[in-house]
């Protein structure tokens, strides 16, 4: 039997499609190429190359990939591919590379927008009559034993092996529509298996036959019944213990959450698609079945897993049919596309039916009267809310709620007690403020600390398993606040009347170990709060000490797994900001395989952030492009986590020179933050700063200035003028001021920021190195050529030592140093340095990055000064064309390149400084 991965060329899914790009059309079925409406004769190999590029439109396809794909099994030289591409370009009239662009040294990229259309459906004969004792096609040792059921897709039969007696289920298709459903189920089953590995709560697909009618799938046989039949055999759902019903629904929720975590929607979730495996001597376990109506949220996942796209097209034109009306979410009935929350709606309906003991009862208005338990009413309302935005974002959240029903009741009581204690503390603080005005600032600070520690305590409730323990923790921390922390604000205790935030934190840090010596969970919670407070104050050393302590305590036997997870995440952020990117990724590595998909997603975001800082921009972007839609599914489109992933994705695009895309995403994230928190909130700072930096790099300096001024003011007001965030924004703002010719203002701001960086964060920090570079560029523009060279040389030496020769920041610094050598007329040294920089930058930035254009025309100018005019002219032409593509025709950098070229042509002694081919280091 031929499976999808073993199919020959004629079985390729692209052969089922028609592609439109530019004025060209390629029919994958007939292998006919049309250009401008006229058929063009072209050999098979160029067509195969074209089809592969179309299937990977927008991606860089390496030469080796094309050789392996089109000439599989043969050893050929690259000249064969070069000649094939030449014939293809001639057929497409693409000598100017408007459709397929050569990526020098790597391969090719199809850059034209592509539309994909499905070909005609494959004809499929009607299913012949099946009978007991028949052997399925290509299965001579199997016999059909009994029919299990039938539906619109076809019939399901139990088959038994004639020698071993092994049972399997054979699911037969009946027509062309059912063949599509079978193919789709194959694809989704493979995605589930590749993405999740073996799972006992999903029915496993074993094999399939798509060669000979009747076509079918083979799945494992579950020795049980569908949920309604299984319950009926035991007297009905209403007769089962409530705890058992809740556990079975929790298992369904777990299986559904796992499918969603790899981008698979079920789309026909209902009790009859839930099998109960009820073996003697074991607890009943569910198996989620029948993904034939399902949908893959992100088709790119197929390529990432190297799975052939059976049953799907680029637009998924047939993937949204199906579903049982009783379980369809309101938005589906209204014609909208299915989402994760549509599946969760069906899960909410099933929960209601299990509680009332009737799988035929609809979730109709007034259903609340049928459910006595207020917490279960809340669970149904959260899962089956009419507005999808109000539903739970992850089925695992419902699973957790159902399994912790009793502890949630206890938690409610603990919350009431904690609320009374909090009110007492606030009243006490208020009386203290009224009696002693000199304690106003300290009291406000303590209220913030109380909130921070309170958050750490409230996170314990997410586990919903230790309500009494939480009450003990709350009491212990309240005593810590009143007896240790608040006491420090009293002059009779501290001997001072001006206790500051850092003093209070230091006092708490000194006593927390002794105070909670025998309470590791409580101590870990407090250390987490202290670590985050230090982190946001820019006290990295103290923050790390507290977070390390929280991690050690929480990873001990009997420790808090939730706190350990949070500590790892916060430590990774700290390590990234400190420049220890490898350690950051190592800290996050265990969380990438965490059982909770939300933890996985957060760890993935921070890993991508560390990758960016290491210089792995393509790897970071690829990870984030997969994470953003997943975060939207797991947390909600406007959730804080999704917005963070969007900001990170924008940052990766910005560093890759894709400024328009980056600006659009920064604006989207900023709007989302403002909708979530309000304008001027500190949570908007990261998106605001990113937007300003991207506008600067796009050379929209007048637009960048007010954005970065507002960000600098906000950061100064909240964090203070010497905080890490404030100093980073000051560096960006200085670059914009420099671009707008405010040299005095830019120099003053840079020197003040450099002094603060060196004093507070050390001269080895990445931000300090960037400032050295930027000051060198500034002095070059003002004509102070010796100081230009000195600052840039210091910066480059530090970058090479800290980041390596191929890091983006090192490459930018080396380029700028080459420019400084030109200004000093040291042309041979400049030529050698810029040539090495271009060679190292190509694999890092790619052939189309703006930096390649700037460094390219700088190198062309150096060649001109050395008298190599022919080579210089060619380099100028390449660089100007690249800059026009990257920044748009008539951009400022192209104009500078043209001015330098024309000056060299006229053999005028124009200082290269006038060309301003230097690059400032924006955000790291």
Q: Do domains 4-118 and 239-404 have the same CATH topology?
A: no
Greater pLDDT, 335 or 146:
146
End-to-end CA distance of the chain: 54
Q: What is the pLDDT of residue 223?
A: 78
Cα–Cα dist 601/852, whole Å: 34
CA distances from 391 to 128, 142, 287, 331, 387 (A): 45, 46, 24, 12, 7
* The CATH number of domain 239-404, selected from 3.40.190.10, 1.10.510.10, 3.20.20.70, 1.10.10.10: 1.10.510.10
Give me the phi and psi of 48, to 5 degrees please: -65, -40
Nearest one of 895, 856, 899, 847 to 874, comparing CA atoms: 856
pLDDT of 170 over the 60 cut:
yes
Nearest one of 688, 610, 692, 685 to 652, comparing CA atoms: 610
The answer to whether residues 279 and 223 touch, using CB atoms and an 8 Å cutoff, is yes
Greater pLDDT, 271 or 431:
271
Confidence of residue 163 (pLDDT cuts 50, 70, 90): very high
* The CATH number of domain 4-118, selected from 1.10.10.10, 2.40.50.140, 2.30.110.10, 3.40.50.1820: 1.10.10.10
How far from chain centre, in Å, is Cα 642?
A: 8
Confidence of residue 828 (pLDDT cuts 50, 70, 90): very high
Greater pLDDT, 462 or 78:
78
Burial class of residue 889 (count of CB atoms within 10 Å of its CB; 0-12, 13-18, 19+): exposed
Tokens, residue 624: 């984030």
pLDDT of 461 over the 60 cut:
no
How far from chain centre, in Å, is Cα 833?
A: 37
Range in 206-215, 488-497, 752-761 with the lowest mean pLDDT: 488-497
Helix (H) or strand (E) holding 24: strand 24-27
Strand, helix or coil for residue 466: coil
pLDDT of 549 over the 70 cut:
yes
What percentage of residues in the chain have a pLDDT greater than 70? 78
In which order are the strands placed within the sheet that holds 205-209?
A: 142-150, 154-161, 167-173, 216-220, 205-209
Please tell me the pTM assigned to this model: 0.43
Which pLDDT tens digit goes with each residue over 889-923? 878 888 889 988 988 887 644 444 334 445 555 43
Superfamily of domain 807-924, CATH level 4: Tetratricopeptide repeat domain (1.25.40.10)
Burial class of residue 16 (count of CB atoms within 10 Å of its CB; 0-12, 13-18, 19+): middle
**In whole numbers, what is the pLDDT of the chain averaged over residues?**
79
Which pLDDT tens digit goes with each residue over 587-614? 888 888 888 888 888 889 889 888 887 7
The answer to whether residues 704 and 692 touch, using CB atoms and an 8 Å cutoff, is yes
| Mean pLDDT (whole number) for 144-151 | 83
Question: Residue written as tokens 């298992």?
Answer: 251
pLDDT of 127 over the 80 cut:
no
Q: What is the pLDDT of residue 920?
A: 54
Cα–Cα dist 3/184, whole Å: 14
| Mean pLDDT (whole number) for 620-627 | 90
Q: What is the pLDDT of residue 574?
A: 80
Q: What is the pLDDT of residue 174?
A: 64
pLDDT of 187 over the 60 cut:
yes
DSSP, residue by residue, 135-186: PPTT-TTEEEEEEEEE-SSEEEEEEEETTT--EEEEEEE-SHHHHHHHHHHH
The answer to whether residues 246 and 231 touch, using CB atoms and an 8 Å cutoff, is no
Sorted by where each begins, the domain ranges of the chain are 4-118, 239-404, 405-578, 807-924
Confidence of residue 56 (pLDDT cuts 50, 70, 90): confident
Q: What is the pLDDT of residue 666?
A: 94
Confidence of residue 167 (pLDDT cuts 50, 70, 90): very high
Number of C-beta neighbours around residue 679 at 10 A: 10
Question: Residue written as tokens 């089809």?
Answer: 51
Confidence of residue 832 (pLDDT cuts 50, 70, 90): very high
Cis peptide before 214 (omega within 30 of 0): yes
Greater pLDDT, 76 or 575:
575
pLDDT of 561 over the 90 cut:
no
pLDDT of 220 over the 70 cut:
yes
Confidence of residue 178 (pLDDT cuts 50, 70, 90): low
Q: What is the pLDDT of residue 910?
A: 41
pLDDT of 308 over the 70 cut:
no
pLDDT of 321 over the 50 cut:
no
pLDDT of 426 over the 60 cut:
yes
The answer to whether residues 237 and 226 touch, using CB atoms and an 8 Å cutoff, is no
For 333-363, b where at least 16 C-beta lie within 10 A, e where not — what string? eeeeebbbbbbbbbbbbbbbbbbebebeeeb
| Mean pLDDT (whole number) for 266-276 | 89
Q: What is the pLDDT of residue 633?
A: 85
Q: What is the pLDDT of residue 428?
A: 60
Tokens, residue 409: 């009741």
Q: What is the pLDDT of residue 874?
A: 94
Nearest one of 538, 536, 924 to 731, comparing CA atoms: 924
Strand partners, 117: 18
Q: What is the pLDDT of residue 239?
A: 92
| Mean pLDDT (whole number) for 142-150 | 88
Helices (H), 720-784: 724-739, 743-760, 766-781
Q: What is the pLDDT of residue 781?
A: 86
């Amino acid at each position: 039997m031929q499976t999808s991965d073993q199919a020959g060329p004629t079985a390729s899914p692209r052969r089922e499609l028609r592609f439109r790009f530019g004025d060209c059309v390629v029919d994958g079925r007939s292998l006919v190429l049309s250009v401008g409406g006229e058929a063009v004769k072209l050999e098979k190999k160029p067509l195969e190359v074209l089809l592969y590029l179309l299937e990977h439109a927008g991606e860089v396809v390496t030469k080796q990939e094309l050789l392996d794909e089109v000439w599989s099994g043969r050893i050929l030289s690259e000249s064969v591919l070069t000649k094939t591409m030449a014939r293809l370009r001639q057929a497409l009239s693409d000598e100017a590379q408007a459709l397929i662009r050569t990526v020098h040294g790597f391969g090719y990229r199809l850059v034209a927008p592509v539309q994909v259309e499905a070909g005609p459906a494959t004809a499929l004969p009607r299913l012949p009559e099946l009978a007991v004792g028949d052997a399925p096609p290509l299965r001579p040792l199997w016999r059909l034993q009994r029919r299990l059921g039938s539906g619109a897709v076809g019939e399901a039969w139990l088959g038994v092996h004639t020698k071993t007696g092994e049972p399997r289920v054979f699911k037969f298709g009946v027509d062309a529509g059912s063949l599509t459903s079978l193919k789709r189920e194959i694809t989704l089953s493979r995605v589930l298996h590749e993405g999740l590995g073996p799972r006992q709560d999903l029915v496993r697909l074993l094999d399939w036959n798509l060669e000979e009618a009747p076509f079918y799938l083979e799945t494992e046989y579950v020795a049980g019944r569908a949920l309604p039949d299984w319950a009926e055999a035991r007297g009905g759902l209403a007769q089962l213990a409530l705890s058992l019903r809740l556990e079975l629904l929790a298992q369904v929720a777990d299986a559904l959450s796992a499918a969603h975590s790899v981008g698979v929607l079920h789309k026909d979730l209902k009790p009859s698609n839930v099998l109960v495996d009820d073996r003697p001597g074991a607890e009943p376990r569910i198996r989620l079945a029948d993904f034939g109506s399902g949908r893959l949220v992100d088709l790119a996942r197929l390529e990432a897993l190297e799975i052939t796209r059976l049953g799907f097209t680029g637009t998924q034109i047939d993937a949204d049919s199906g579903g049982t009306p009783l379980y369809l979410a309101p938005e589906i009935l209204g014609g909208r596309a299915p989402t994760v929350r549509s599946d969760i709606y069906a899960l909410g309906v099933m929960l209601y039916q299990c509680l009332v003991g009737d799988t035929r009862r609809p979730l109709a208005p007034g259903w609340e009267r049928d459910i006595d338990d207020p917490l279960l009413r809340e669970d149904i309302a959260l899962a089956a809310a009419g507005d999808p935005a109000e539903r739970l974002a992850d089925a695992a959240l419902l699973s957790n709620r159902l399994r912790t029903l009793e502890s949630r009741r206890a938690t409610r009581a603990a919350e009431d007690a904690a609320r009374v204690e909090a009110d007492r503390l606030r009243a006490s603080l208020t009386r203290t403020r009224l009696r002693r005005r000199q304690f106003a600032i300290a009291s406000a600070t303590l209220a913030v600390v109380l909130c921070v520690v309170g958050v750490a305590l409230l996170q314990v409730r997410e586990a919903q398993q230790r309500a009494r323990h939480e009450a003990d923790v709350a009491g212990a921390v309240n005593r810590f606040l009143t007896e240790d922390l608040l006491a420090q604000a009293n002059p009779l205790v501290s001997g001072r009347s001006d206790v500051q935030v850092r003093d209070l934190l230091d006092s708490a840090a000194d006593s927390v170990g002794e105070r909670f010596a025998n309470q590791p969970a409580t101590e870990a919670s407090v250390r987490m709060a202290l670590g985050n407070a230090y982190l946001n104050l820019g006290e990295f050393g103290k923050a790390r000490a507290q977070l390390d302590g929280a991690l050690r305590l929480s990873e001990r036997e009997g420790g808090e797994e939730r706190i350990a997870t949070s500590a790892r995440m916060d430590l990774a952020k700290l390590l990234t900001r400190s420049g220890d990117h490898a350690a950051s990724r190592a800290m996050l590595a265990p969380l990438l395989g965490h059982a909770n998909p939300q933890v996985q997603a957060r760890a993935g975001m921070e890993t991508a952030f560390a990758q960016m800082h290491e210089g792995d921009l393509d790897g970071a972007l690829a990870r984030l492009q997969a994470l953003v839609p997943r975060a939207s599914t797991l947390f909600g489109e406007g959730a804080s986590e999704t917005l963070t992933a969007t900001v990170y994705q924008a940052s990766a695009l910005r560093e890759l020179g894709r400024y328009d895309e980056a600006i659009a995403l920064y604006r989207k994230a900023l709007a989302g933050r403002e909708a979530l928190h309000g304008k001027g909130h500190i949570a908007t700072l990261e998106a605001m700063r990113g937007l300003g930096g991207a506008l600067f790099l796009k050379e929209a300096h007048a637009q960048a200035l007010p954005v970065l001024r507002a960000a600098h003011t906000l950061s100064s007001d909240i964090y203070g003028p010497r905080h890490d965030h404030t100093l980073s924004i000051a560096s960006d703002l200085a670059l914009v001021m420099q671009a707008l010719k405010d040299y005095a203002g830019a120099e003053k701001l840079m020197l003040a920021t450099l002094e603060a960086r060196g004093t507070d964060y050390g001269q080895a920090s990445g931000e300090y190195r960037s400032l050295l570079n930027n000051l060198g560029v500034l002095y070059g523009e003002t004509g102070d050529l010796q100081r230009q060279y000195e600052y840039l040389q210091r910066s480059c030496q530090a970058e090479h030592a800290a980041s390596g020769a191929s890091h983006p920041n090192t490459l930018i610094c080396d380029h700028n140093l080459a420019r400084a050598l030109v200004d000093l007329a040291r042309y041979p040294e400049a030529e050698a340095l810029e040539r090495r920089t271009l060679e190292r930058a190509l694999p890092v930035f790619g052939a189309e990055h703006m930096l390649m254009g700037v460094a390219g025309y700088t190198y062309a100018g150096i060649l001109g000064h050395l008298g190599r005019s022919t080579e210089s002219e060619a380099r100028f032409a390449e660089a100007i064309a690249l800059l026009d593509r990257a920044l748009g025709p008539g951009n400022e950098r192209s104009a500078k390149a043209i001015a330098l070229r024309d000056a060299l042509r006229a053999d005028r002694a124009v200082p290269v400084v006038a060309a301003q081919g230097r690059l400032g280091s924006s955000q790291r």
